A = this chain, B = another copy of it.
Amino acid sequence: MKLNWGMIGGGEGSQIGPAHRLGAQADGLFTLAAGALDADGEKGRAYAQRLGVAESRAYGDWRDMLAGERGRDDRIDLVTVATPNATHFEITKAFLEAGFHVLCEKPMTMTVEEGEEIVKIARASGRICAVNYCYSAYPMVREMREMVRAGALGKIRLVVANFSHGHHGDATDADNPRVRWRYDPAMAGVSGQFADCGIHALHMASFITGDEVEKLSADFASTISSRVLEDDAMVNFRMSGGTVGRLWTSSVAIGRQHGFDIQVFGETGGMRWASEQPNQVYYTPVGGRTQIMEKGEAGLSSEAARLSRVAIAHPEGFPLAVANIYVDLAAAIRGEARDGLPLAEDGLRSMAAVAAAVASAQAGGHWVDARPPMFR
């Protein structure tokens, strides 16, 4: 039986909407049963119906949707929150409290305090509150995680991550509303590029190594001077196991399309994965040659195998990484353990890291505790 799924935000013309719809439906696990897809209620209702949602469940507003769904026998099993960032907290909180499972887009909240509140609510509710760190659901990222955790690289010394693009590098386009809001504290909060892309990379560092970021030192720059928030950031960090971390993120790196890569270096080897060619991992045992690992090759971990759909060298891309989040959500909703699913705790840690990075950058790079207060 398919699960019932609802979506808030992700309306017509949005970038993230199609990825979620495809992700939820690709494997036939979820049916889009309800939606409040657009800030313009009528537009959203019409679009939902064109996507096959019944008229009665095509809502004009997330509050209507909450009210409408909570009383139904066939109420949605999962709601995805893909609205503007500043609304994530309120909506996620409301649905969790009403007993729904939630998948929230990142950043989960705008502040650490809100993040801690979501964690507490999620824990109290017994509902799943997942956060869409979807890069972690690529099969070959899971393979790295399995190998690292099994000790294939020995103790991890160093994680180096980059998540840089140049799509905001055109100063003549900086006032374009689709770009500008990201650097405007009124809409984006305390951080621009680091909160937008950097936290994906920081999450992945923890996801792969199993260690948490404990402290960090940051350098922020607004290379386009009209920007209040940073469009380029470097964050050095230390993890719970002593691992050294380095993370560069930029939106003005013209020529980089979507340069998210992560390198993990341990005592007995190194690995590298890049999001633009997500079906390979480069693995080098110390003293040996670099080996190209391929999604679908024989001998991969069950995690990597489970989240891959087609044969070796048939590439699987970003929408299916999102779909893997939904695969794990469907299992978790059914009560199966899925320890790779990014949860509210991860969303909170990101917010704490953002706050720490802002504080460090403002204070001239000194080291700041990056842990959420509730986890110290």
Which A residues contact B (CB, under 8 angstroms)? 1-2, 15, 18-19, 21-22, 25-28, 32, 51-52, 157-158, 160, 164-167, 169-171, 217, 219, 221, 223-224, 232, 234, 236, 244, 246, 248, 250, 252-258, 263, 265-267, 269-272, 275-279, 282-287, 289-294, 297-298, 309-320, 364-367
CA–CA, A365 and B283, complex, Å: 32
A19 touches B283 (CB 8 A): no
Contact of A15 among B167, B267, B297, B310 (CB under 8 A): B310
CB–CB A287/B26 < 8 A: no
Q: Which residues of B contact A275 (CB under 8 A)?
A: 313, 315
Question: Contact partner of A276 among B234, B244, B250, B315, CB < 8 A?
Answer: B315
Total copies of this chain within the assembly: 4
Q: Report, nearest first, the 3 A-B pairs whose CB atoms are least far apart.
A: A258-B313, A255-B284, A257-B313
Q: Do A278 and B15 form a contact, CB below 8 Å, given A28-B32, A160-B248, A253-B158? A: no
Apart from A157-B224, A223-B265, list 11 A-B contacts with CB within 8 A.
Answer: A15-B311, A18-B309, A18-B310, A25-B25, A219-B236, A219-B244, A255-B283, A255-B284, A258-B313, A315-B315, A315-B318
Contact of B252 with A157 in the complex, beta carbons under 8 Å: yes
